[in-house]
Chain A
Amino acid sequence: MFDAENPLTQAAQEQMQSLYAAGWEAYQDTQWLRAAEIFGKALEIAESINDIRKIVLYRFWRGSSLLQAGKLRQALAVLTPTLKEGTTGGDADDIYNTLATYIEIAQDLPVNLGAIEKAFQQTESFLRNSGNLDWRHRLLLLQATLSKLRGMYPEALAAAQESWAIWQDKYPVYIADAHLNRLVEISLLLRDAQQAQMYLWEWEMDEHDTIPKTRERLSCSRQSDLARLEGRFTEAVDWARRAMLVDNSDIDTLILMVRTFLCMGDNHRARDELIRLLAHRHAETGHYRYYIRLLWGDYHLACARQAAGMPAVDDVFGLEFPPPSAIANPAATRYALARARRGYRAALKVGSWIDEKLQCSLRQNEIYERLARVEAIEHQFYSLPGRAW
C-alpha cells in the first residue's frame, strides 16, 4: 500500500522527481529513447511504492516518448495498464493524455477506422464523465489529423480550426506548435498558400510555452512546404536544411529533404538522403512505410525525367506536368521508369492497405496519378520516330 508518511516513500518521491526532470529534459531535446528510459526508471520506483498517481503519469510520459521514437507497440504496452474501466486512481488529465496518445498510435499504425472511432467515443465519454469537456481541443486536433489522413481536407481544416479556437494553454494540452503545424499543413494540402502563410505568421508571433526544437523543426518544415507550393524551390531546400539542422534523423524531416532535392532536380543528393530513409522502410508507422516507398518511386521518376532531358517537377504540389518533348537518354530513361513503376507498385501495396483501414482512396489516387506521369513519358517513346520501346 502507498504510505506517504513512510521515509522510504519520501526518498523515492525525491528520486522520482529528479528522474522526471531528467526525462523531461531529454524529451525536450527530442532524445525520445533516452527520455523513455528515464521515465521508465521513474515508473519502476513509482510502482515499488505503489504511488498510483505517479504510475499513471510516468506511464503516459514513457508511452509518449516511445510513440515519438516510433515504437508504437512498445508504447501501447506501456500505456495499456492505465486503461482500466472504472477508477484507476490516476489524475483525470493523465488518463485523458493516455487515451489521446492511444488514439494517436491507432492513427499512426493505422488500425481500422471503426476501432479509431470507438476510441474517440471512449475518450469523449471519459471527458464527459470526468466533467472536463473543456479539454476537447486535443481530441478535435486528433480528429483533424484523422480527416487529413483520409484525404478529407476541408473537414480536417474545420476541426483543426475549432480545436485551435478553443485551445487553452493549460495541461492537458498539445503545444501550440502542434495546432499551428497542422493548420499550415492542411492549408497547404488545400493548396491555399495565403491561408498557410497567415498561420505561419501567427506561428511566428506565438509566445506560448513550447518545446523549442520541435517548434523550430516543424515551422521550418512547413515554410519549406509553402516555398515548394509557390515554386520557390531554392528556398524550400534552405528551409528543409534548417529543419535538418534541428534533427537530422527525424523521418518527416528526411522525407521533406528528399522531396525538396527532387524539386530542385538534385537527384544525387536526394538519393543520399533517400538511402538514409530506407533504413526506416519497416517502420511501425504505416504512413512512413507508404511515404518511403512513394518517395522511392518519385526519385526514379525524377531520374527518368532527368534522363529524358525534362525539367524537374514537384510531384506533390506540381499540378502542371509539362509533357516531354524529347528523350535525351532513352536507355537510362527506360531503366528509371521501370524502377519508378516498381517503387509505385510497392507503395500501392501499402497505400491500398492503409486506405482500406481508413476507408478512403487517398493513397491509391495518389499512386494512379504518379503512374499516369510515368505513362506519359513512356508514351513519348512510342511517339518518337524510329524508337522502339
Chain B
Amino acid sequence: MVEPLEQFKMETNFEGLIQLLAKSLYPEPDVFVRELIQNGHDSIVRRQEVEPDFAGRIDVELHSSRREIIFRDNGIGMDRQDIKHFLSVIGSTGTGTARKKLTEEGRAAAYNLIGQFGIGMLSAFVVAEKVVVRTRKLKEKQAFAWHNTGSTDCILYADNRKEIGSEIIVSINPEYTFMLDEKRLREAIVKYCDFVQFPISLNGQGPVNTVLPPWYREHWPSQAEKEATYRQFLNRRYPDNALDLIPVEINEPFQARGVLYISDNRVADFNSTGVVDIFVRRMFVRVGDNTILPPWAKFVRGIIDSPDLQPTAARDNIQRNNPAFEFLQKRLGELIVERLSYLAQKEPNKFKQINIWHHYHLKGMALFYDDFFEQVAELLLFQTNVKANNGLMSLQEYLTKNRSREDKAPIYYFAYMGAAAQFYKLADARGWVVINGGGRFEEELLVKYGKRHHRTVHLERLDATDDAELFQRLGTTEAEKFRQLELDLERGLRVSGLTNVLVQMRRFEPKELPSVIIVSPETEAEEKLRNLVIQPWFMAGMEDVAEEALKQGQRRPIYLSLNANNPLIQRLADIERRSDLVKEVMLGVYNSAILYSHNLLNQYNAEVMHGQFVRLFNRLIEHQAEASELEKELEAERGQKIELQKKQVETTAKQPDHILIFTIAPLSEEYKPLEEAVRRVFERPPYCFEIKSAQDHTYKAGLLENVREHLLCAHGFIAEISDLNPNVMFELGAVMLPDDSRQIFSLRSQDARQDVPADLKEKLFVPYGSIKDPVETLEAAIRKAFERDGRIVHDGIQALLEKRQKRFLSRTLLEGLRRTRLESNEIASLMKEYKTVEDLLAAEPAEVVRKRGLPEFVILGLQGELRGISEYV
C-alpha cells in the first residue's frame, strides 16, 4: 500500500469560472432579460399562492446615462435566508424548492413555475460589471440589498425598500453598451417573454408583451373571430402569410398549445424543413426548431407552447430524448394530415390552392415518406384533361370516375409535361381522363401508388406505349397502301438529319391530329439508367459499362405515328411526293408532332424546325414574286392574244380601203325598197360607200360565221329596227358590244308600234314614213337625216368620209352616171375588176379594154365622167 504524500483541494478562479460558465451557457448576450424576467414571474406566481387575487406586474427600466437596466417585480421577494441560500449559491434554486413543495401539496401553481436550475442569475454576469438586488419579502419588515461584481464576494446591506418584491439593478459592462438601446431591449422582451402572463412595462410604458396568446383564450364568440385573431397574431409575429391555420390543442397525455400554419413561403429546396418556435410554460426557448415537425412537413410553420417539453440548462433548446417530444412530433404530424384531409373534403378550393403552391413538397414528401404517402396520396391533386376545376383532380376522384368494370381500374398518365397537348387530345377523343404526370415527383408518385395498389389499379403510360387500343393497327392491305409514305417520310427526315425517327402508320382519334410522337421504351429505360448511374451507391466496377451504354444510345429511336384517319395524311399517301414542296409538307408533319410534344424539342429539332420555317418563308416570298411575274406574263399574253385576234381578223376579214356600211335588216322582200333607198344615198356621191347586206356576199359557210365576218369588215352599220326583229337586234347587239367606235345608224318607220330600246336611242335615229313608201320618198327621208342644204351635217358620216381612202365603184354609182350609159353586164365586168373609182381611174384605158373587152372610147368617157365626180366631191 502506497501512502499519499499530501491531500489538498483543487482551487478555482471563481471570477473566470463564472464568466466562462455564463458565456458557455448563454451564447446570446440578451438572454439575461429572459432569465431575470422569468425570476420575477416565478416570484409573482409564488406570491399569488399566498394572495390569490394579487395582480402581478413586472417593470423594466432603462437608464442609459447610468448604464443600468432595472428589473422590478412585485412578487414574493426574498428574506436574508433566501438571499444566502438561493441567490448566493449557484445551482441552488428557490423556484425548484418551491415547485417541489407545491407539487407535494398538489397545487396548480407548481405547473406555472419556470425556473429549474438556479443558474439564471449567472446570465446577468455575461453583460454586467455589477448586479445589485434589492428585495423585501412578503410579511417581512426588513429589506435587503445584495451587491455582487461577478466575484465570490457578495455584500449584503440592509435596505430601506418599502415595496414587497425585488428589484435587480444590472450595471452594463462597457463591452455590451449596445444593450442600453431601448429598441433592442424591447425586442428582447418580446422575443423571450411575449407570453409571460403578467404585463411587462418598459420605462413605464406597456405592456410590451402579448400576455395572453390566442390559444390560451378559452371562449370565442365565433369561429371566424377565432381565425381572424390567430391570423392577426401570426401576421404580427411572422413575415410570411398563412394559407391555412392548424390550431394546436393537445391535452393528453402531454399538453401543448399553439398554432401551426401552412405558409405561403415556398422554398423549393429538398433540404428545407418545417420550423416551429418553441415555448415552455410561456417562456421562449427556441426559434425555428426543425425537429419537432415530421420531416415531410416542409410547408408548415408555427409556434407551440408545451409545459411538458424539457428545456436544456441553457434554456435555448429542448431535450429530444423525451417522451413528450416524441409524442408531440407524432401528434403534430397527425394534426397536419387531419387538416389536409379536412380541407380536401370540405374546402376544396383552399386545398387546391395549397396543392398548387406546395406541390413540390407535398408530392415529394409523399413519395419519400411512406406514412405521409399513406395518408395523402389519394388526396393530392394532379393535372388532367378534364375541363372542370382547372383540370385538377385527386387520385380518389380519378378512380371514382374511372372505375372500370374490370378488376383493376386503369390510371392513364403520361410523364412529359410538354406532351400534354398531344395526349389531352388523344384522351379526349377516347373519352379517357388522363393524368399529366410530368411534374416533379408525379410519375414516381403514381408508380408508387400503382405498386401499393396493384390489386385494384393498373397504370397505363400513354407516352411510352404503342397501345393497340389507342393506336390501332392497320390491316395488311391498308398498311401496304401507306407503306411507301412511311418510307418516303423516313427518307425525307433522314435527309434532314433526323436519322432516328421511325415512322409507323396507325389509326387513332381525333382525326384532326395528323401525327403523334411516342417515346420508345428504350428512351424510358435510358432515362432511368441515367438517373441510376449517378447514384453514389452504384458499384464502381460496373458504372463504366452503364455510362458507355448511355453514350452509345444518344440516337435513341423516336416513333412517329401517322394517323390514317387524318385527311392530310390520306392526301399525302395519294399524291406524288417527289416535289420539294411535298417533302416540306412531310417534314412539317414531323415538326407539328414535335410541337405537340415539345419535351422532345431539343436543339437539333429546333434547328430543323427553324430551317424549315425559313425555307417555307422564302418559298412563300418566291411564290409571291412568281405570282406577280405570272400575272404580268398573263397580262402580256392576253395582250398578245388580243393582238393575235386582231391580226386574225385582219387576215380573214380585212376592212377595205373604201367605206363599207353593213345593213342589218329583216330578210324580207318588203324591205328591198328601203335597201335601194339606202344604196342611192350612200353609194353615190358625195359618199361613194359600199352598202352590203349578209346575202350580198358569203365569206364563210356557217350563218353566224358569215355574219361575224361581215360585221368585222364593216366601217359602219345601218339597221332597220322598226319591228325589233330578233335577228336584227341580235346582230345589232353584237355590233354594239365591242364598243369600237364604229358608226351605227338605225332606221325606223314612223308607223312602227314597238318602242325603241333605250340603248339604241343614243344612236342616230333616222325616221322615215313607211316601208311602203316609194324608193324616192324613202331616199329623201334618209338623206334629210344626214344632209341639210346640200351639206353633210352628221358627224358620224363626216368621220367616215374622213376615214375614206377610196370610193367604192358600185353598181348604183355606175348606173347613175349621166353621160356614160353602161350595160348591166359591162357594169358587172368593171365591178369585178375594179373595186374603187380610184382603181378604175388609175387603170390605163388600153389595159381596161384588154381586160374587160369594152370599147376604148367608153373607157375614156367613163374615166372622164368619174374624174368629174371626184372634182365634184
A111 touches B451 (CB 8 A): no
B532 touches A80 (CB 8 A): yes
Q: How long is the Cα–Cα vector from A109 to B541 in the complex, in angstroms?
A: 17
- A133 at the binding interface (Cβ < 8 Å): no
Contact of A76 among B451, B525, B544 (CB under 8 A): B525
Q: How long is the Cα–Cα vector from A119 to B541 in the complex, in angstroms?
A: 5
**Nearest-Cβ distance from residue B168 to partner chain A, whole angstroms:** 56
- A132 at the binding interface (Cβ < 8 Å): no
Report the interface size class on chain A: 35 or more
Known pairs A47-B451, A48-B451, A73-B522; A118 contacts B537 (CB<8 A): no
Q: B526 to chain A: which residues have CB within 8 Å? A: 73, 77
**Nearest-Cβ distance from residue A299 to partner chain B, whole angstroms:** 20
A44 touches B521 (CB 8 A): no
Q: B541 to chain A: which residues have CB within 8 Å? A: 118-119, 121-123, 125
Q: A86 to chain B: which residues have CB within 8 Å? A: 537
Q: B451 to chain A: which residues have CB within 8 Å? A: 44-45, 47-48
Binds B, one of A99-107, A328-336, A358-366: A99-107
Q: How long is the Cα–Cα vector from A28 to B88 in the complex, in angstroms?
A: 89
- B5 at the binding interface (Cβ < 8 Å): no
**Nearest chain-B residue to A80 (Cβ)?**
B532
Q: A84 to chain B: which residues have CB within 8 Å? A: 537-539
Q: A116 to chain B: which residues have CB within 8 Å? A: 545
**Nearest-Cβ distance from residue B518 to partner chain A, whole angstroms:** 15
A74 touches B542 (CB 8 A): no
**Nearest chain-A residue to B526 (Cβ)?**
A73
- B549 at the binding interface (Cβ < 8 Å): yes
Proximity bits, B550-564, A CB within 8 Å = 1, else 0: 101100010000000
Proximity bits, B421-455, A CB within 8 Å = 1, else 0: 00000000000000000000000000000111010
Q: A119 to chain B: which residues have CB within 8 Å? A: 541-542, 544-545
**Nearest chain-A residue to B370 (Cβ)?**
A1
Known pairs A83-B538, A111-B544, A111-B548; A45 contacts B521 (CB<8 A): no
Known pairs A44-B451, A71-B525, A282-B557; A76 contacts B549 (CB<8 A): yes
Q: A114 to chain B: which residues have CB within 8 Å? A: 544
Q: How long is the Cα–Cα vector from A86 to B548 in the complex, in angstroms?
A: 23
Question: B522, B542, B544: which has the most chain A beta carbons within 10 Å?
Answer: B542
**Nearest-Cβ distance from residue B722 to partner chain A, whole angstroms:** 87
- B533 at the binding interface (Cβ < 8 Å): yes
A85 touches B545 (CB 8 A): no
**Nearest chain-B residue to A357 (Cβ)?**
B548
**Nearest-Cβ distance from residue A162 to partner chain B, whole angstroms:** 22
**Nearest chain-B residue to A107 (Cβ)?**
B545
Q: B468 to chain A: which residues have CB within 8 Å? A: none
- A81 at the binding interface (Cβ < 8 Å): yes
- A115 at the binding interface (Cβ < 8 Å): yes
Q: A122 to chain B: which residues have CB within 8 Å? A: 539-542
Q: B267 to chain A: which residues have CB within 8 Å? A: none
Main SS class of interface, B? helix
Q: A140 to chain B: which residues have CB within 8 Å? A: none
- A234 at the binding interface (Cβ < 8 Å): no
Q: How long is the Cα–Cα vector from A106 to B548 in the complex, in angstroms?
A: 9
Contact of A71 among B521, B537, B542 (CB under 8 A): B521
**Nearest chain-A residue to B553 (Cβ)?**
A73
Proximity bits, B500-529, A CB within 8 Å = 1, else 0: 000000000000000000000110011011
Q: How long is the Cα–Cα vector from A8 to B537 in the complex, in angstroms?
A: 31
Proximity bits, A67-92, B CB within 8 Å = 1, else 0: 00001111011101101111000000
- B546 at the binding interface (Cβ < 8 Å): yes
**Nearest-Cβ distance from residue A32 to partner chain B, whole angstroms:** 14
Q: How long is the Cα–Cα vector from A6 to B545 in the complex, in angstroms?
A: 40
- A112 at the binding interface (Cβ < 8 Å): yes
Q: How long is the Cα–Cα vector from A78 to B522 in the complex, in angstroms?
A: 12
**Nearest-Cβ distance from residue A175 to partner chain B, whole angstroms:** 24
B548 touches A74 (CB 8 A): no
Q: B550 to chain A: which residues have CB within 8 Å? A: 73
Known pairs A80-B538, A102-B542; A115 contacts B548 (CB<8 A): yes
Q: B533 to chain A: which residues have CB within 8 Å? A: 80
B538 touches A48 (CB 8 A): no
Q: A85 to chain B: which residues have CB within 8 Å? A: 537-540
A112 touches B548 (CB 8 A): yes
Contact of B549 among A72, A103, A123, A125 (CB under 8 A): A72
Question: B454, B521, B539, B548: which has the most chain A beta carbons within 10 Å?
Answer: B539
Contact of B532 among A81, A105, A109, A123 (CB under 8 A): A81
Q: B529 to chain A: which residues have CB within 8 Å? A: 73, 76-77, 80
Q: How long is the Cα–Cα vector from A111 to B542 in the complex, in angstroms?
A: 11
A83 touches B539 (CB 8 A): yes
**Nearest-Cβ distance from residue B717 to partner chain A, whole angstroms:** 76
Q: A123 to chain B: which residues have CB within 8 Å? A: 541
Contact of A105 among B528, B549, B553 (CB under 8 A): B549
**Nearest-Cβ distance from residue A13 to partner chain B, whole angstroms:** 14
Q: How long is the Cα–Cα vector from A72 to B549 in the complex, in angstroms?
A: 9
Q: B548 to chain A: which residues have CB within 8 Å? A: 109, 111-112, 115
Q: B540 to chain A: which residues have CB within 8 Å? A: 85, 122
Q: B553 to chain A: which residues have CB within 8 Å? A: 73, 284
Which chain B residues numbered 550 to 584 have a C-beta less than 8 Å away from chain A?
A: 550, 552-553, 557
Binding site for B on A (CB under 8 A): 44-45, 47-48, 71-74, 76-78, 80-81, 83-86, 99, 102-103, 105-106, 109, 111-112, 114-116, 118-119, 121-123, 125, 282, 284
What are 9 A-B contacts defined by CB distance under 8 Å? A48-B452, A48-B454, A73-B549, A73-B553, A80-B533, A81-B532, A85-B538, A115-B545, A119-B545
Which 7 residue pairs of A and B lie closest in terms of their CB atoms, listed nearest first? A122-B541, A115-B544, A74-B525, A111-B548, A77-B525, A77-B528, A77-B529
Additional A-B contact list (5), CB under 8 Å, known A77-B532, A115-B544: A44-B454, A76-B545, A85-B537, A102-B542, A122-B541
